[in-house]
Structure 1
Amino acid sequence: MGVGGWSMDLKGAQEAFLAVLQQIPQPETRKAFLAWVDDTWIRGVPPTLMVCPPPCPPPPLVPGCTSDYSSGDAKLRKIADDLREIMPLNAILPTEQITFPSVGENADCDPSHTLHVDAFLYDEDMVDELCDTGELARNYCVDCSSHNTQPITYISHSASRERLAYIFRALLPPIPEDTILLDIGSRLGAVLYGAYIYSKCRRIVGVEINQDLCQVQQTIINKYQFQDRVQVVGGDIQEQAEIVRAADIIVLNNVFEFFMPPAVQARIWAFLRSNIKKGCLLVTIPSLEDSLQYIDCGFRVPEWARELPPHDPNITAPFDFQSETSEVKLYQIV
């Protein structure tokens, strides 16, 4: 026992440390705090601690900040480490064909000043480090050899670890074990891994048209022994009507806009409307309204789906969810 009959084991200390980080939402401040911990307590000579009786208990954990999140995020981080060993820096394979949008909010994403930076593989701190080392550029020159520069546009085709935690811990309601979850355009498999770690879905299916990306996902699934609940299907989603009809939850994360022209997108949306069952939950990034605004798909969103609020908007984790939630929407098919 410690002074005053109170002590803390390793797990308690870890949770208290996470609780402190949770109170520092600004990334730069949090980074500076961790640097101080490293310099003072790991690399330096730690100062003598003074214990004031009675000792103060650790700050309370905000509801939802549990060891489940910590262990889940650690596993996702390890998967991202493995994927960085497999994928090129921009996480785009030579066999992929990127189609930059000509209409809509992302129509200004010109290939000359737009970089693909996968949010699952690279968090903000890692992007800053890549910029500092010159592996990524922050700005581009509008007029060659001048000082007239503009920021580079970064885009991602994957959900970040934070966004995955938000989807499965706050946005969606509790997921029954007999749920079938479908990720359309699963790419590197981030949603599949998040669903496996944060839910008990009995069947988690990713449909991906690029066979090389299917192999990348299968490599991770095999390594982490996710195959008991996770399956990757290669092919066009329009050829997978049976899977679409069976799904209870469908995730659409930036799935069509950068990979096919508007006419093809319209056909796929019409297919989805015809095959997704009533009551199915859709998680979309961005909103359906934004995705369909410039697509002539023959129907309006309110005729097909109604937006739902997050199941638990107050849940938090040891980081600020706000930047990860604004584009993520939840709908139910009516």
Structure 2
Amino acid sequence: MLPLAVTDLAAMRIGDKVALHWTMPRRTTDRVVLQADQQVEICRAAGAEPCAVFRVLLLAPGSQAQTTDQLPAALQVGTNRLMHYEVRLKNHAQHDAGPSNLAFVPAGWAPPAIQSVQLANKAQGIAVSWEAPAEDSQAMTAPGAVLRVRLLRHRLAAESATAPTKESTEAGVPQPTEQTLEAPEHPAAMAGGKWTPDSIVDADAQQNRSYSYTVQLVEQLTLEGHLLEMNGQPAETAALEARDTFAPAVPEDLAAVANATGKAIDLSWTAGPEPDLRGYRVYRRETDLAAQSAATSTPVLVSGPALVTVPSWSDTAAHPGVRYSYSVAAVDQSGNESARSAEVVEALPQ
């Protein structure tokens, strides 16, 4: 009886290695269920060479198989050219049902490794920066190939992590543990140049969560009609906790109107643009009537311990005939408070 041939062999070139994976068949060509481990021959061929076996494995039927091929030095250098892999499952008589599907990868120069990955908290998210490969190393890419920088972001588990909130989910779906990001192409690269970016801001990183980033250069090229992808060696992983230490924008367009009927001074301002804005605090100080603008007291919080959640507030504790200077500060979900706005002055008539 012959084991069925593998139909989903896949290969990925990563630096000087090729990662292979496939699904082991569960049955023979006669539809009999396989019981014992199966002998698997893995071969590699470059150009017109015959496919030479370089590894033999014993693997369980139905298992997800994987192995890594450390490329010979001759296949790591030179102009990019096509090579492929096959696997064959042998029975006890060393017969097989034929080769698997062919998995193609490029031989030759791989993209250089990215170095010196750095992470930093920014107001817009986590800034990921790295040392871009030198121009001479990029010149080894195949004609027409496209270089891109790819990042793998991994959200690290934390014992103190809270349950998902409205702010930490989108459409009710929690953020995935792993996500792949790509740095946007630079106009020079799109025009056929060899420029690669050296930074990206991950605006989707959630505050008070820890993330690790792995960065690698990816080359996309076509060889003999096959659209292929080849990865450089990933840079050393860097990790950081996303911390929001950045204050929201200072409120603008503050206006005050004396409401004699309601015995209050009504304030209004333009709502802040930040998605994590939590509310506002209103400050007041007394201004000397004679000096008009001279301060006679220090601004104090008058809106109470709870944040004002709308861009308006009424001071019902204002005394008639007393001139007050008002200012407003914005507060975000992390408790960061902005500087106070420009003051406006108003008084209730006596």
Greater RCO between the two (CA within 8 Å, min separation 6)?
1
| Greater share of residues in strand | 2
TM-score calculated relative to the size of structure 1 = 0.20
Higher helix proportion (structure 1 or 2): 1
